[in-house]
Amino acid sequence: MSKPTVLFVCVHNAGRSQMAAGWLRSLAGDDVDVLSAGSEPGNQINPVAVEAMREVGIDITANTPRLLSTEDVQASDVVITMGCGDACPFYPGKRYEDWNLTDPAGQPLETVRQIRDEIRTHIENLLAELRASQP
């Protein structure tokens, strides 16, 4: 079986989905392909999210918000939505999860740290499940 592809989707692709993608890339290495997109992408990644991730040694500054495409969903084994579930196309055979996370937009760094840490917990659980399902 080839390595799984995980797609993270939030509205602006500027905070939660970017932090989740950063965590998964950091914790999974080359074991998982990671995509991230938004239903209405913003102009830049939330600078407070960038700072919160920098504090744990993960650099997401090179990422840019991008528009969710049908091809992204088709290419993914797991689709994680964060507050935009209705905007994400549904394809049978895909694993879908919706993570109820606070939007970091406009939040102070202390709150974004809490969101960052909550995302890490979700990522660790997801990664454990993905690894357990590998032959």
Question: Would you name the residues annotated as active-site residues?
Answer: 10, 84, 88
- For residue 33, give every residue at least 6 positions away whose Cβ sits within 8 Å of its Cβ, in sequence order, or none: 3, 4, 5, 6
Question: Torsions phi, psi of 18, nearest 5?
Answer: -70, -40
3-state SS, residue 11: coil
**Two structure tokens written together for 81:** 């939505």
68 close to 57: Cβ distance less than 8 angstroms = no
Question: Torsions phi, psi of 80, nearest 5?
Answer: -105, 115
111 close to 102: Cβ distance less than 8 angstroms = yes
Tally the C-alpha atoms within 13 A of residue 58's C-alpha that lie toward its C-beta.
23
